[in-house]
Amino acid sequence: MRTKDLKKIYSTKNWHNQWALFYFVRNWENILGYPLGKVTYPAFFRGDVLWIYVDNSAWMQQMQYVKMDLLDAIQKAVPTAVVNDLRFAVHPAIQEEEAPSAPPPKKPIDKQKEKRFVDMVSNVSNEQCRQSLYKLWRASAGSAGKGTSK
């Protein structure tokens, strides 16, 4: 292959941006500084748009305010990279780690309140309905900070 062919392949495949991304990953904190370099991460290119992962939505909002300064710093760091815009997304690994927390601990059921409720629903003729009401009451009465039924 001739040099001309390699240059053509190199430019059509946007490899110059991939090399830039490699540089960004290795030098990100130096390019952005503290604290932005700690809470963000260069993710990938989609065309001439550099996608940046952020730690959370609050930082994602902050990034919008400094977007033009970031773009300028990025273009100065690697002038050969074609970066015309920046987009931000919460890092997927962080989203997976933020799984729903465990339900709050259940508080003990007041036996007198339970007996009053059972007596109150005892005249419901449908057994399934009566059991469903009881389960609903138990769930509400056993939740932490709840259970104020009288």
Q: What is the pLDDT of residue 47?
A: 80
Neighbouring C-alpha atoms within 13 Å toward the C-beta of 80:
12
> In the predicted model, what is the mean pLDDT of the chain?
77
Average pLDDT over residues 11-29: 72
**What pLDDT score was predicted for residue 11?**
57
Q: Which of 106, 4, 89 is nearest to 52 (CA)?
A: 89
Tell me what pLDDT residue 89 has.
Answer: 84
Residues 73-120: tens digit of each pLDDT: 888 887 877 888 888 888 877 655 555 666 666 678 888 888 888 888
- How long, in residues, is the chain? 150
pLDDT score for 82 = 80
Q: What is the DSSP letter of 88?
A: E
Q: Looking at 9-13, 32-36, 39-43, which range is the least confident one? A: 9-13
Is the bond leading into 35 cis (omega within 30 degrees of zero)? yes
Q: In which band, very low, low, confident or very high, does the pLDDT at 122 lie, cut at 50, 70 and 90?
A: confident
* Segment 129-149, tens digit of pLDDT: 888 888 888 888 766 544 444
Q: Kindly give, in sequence order, each residue whose CB lies less than 8 Å from that of residue 109, ignoring residues fewer than 6 positions away.
A: 138, 141, 142, 147
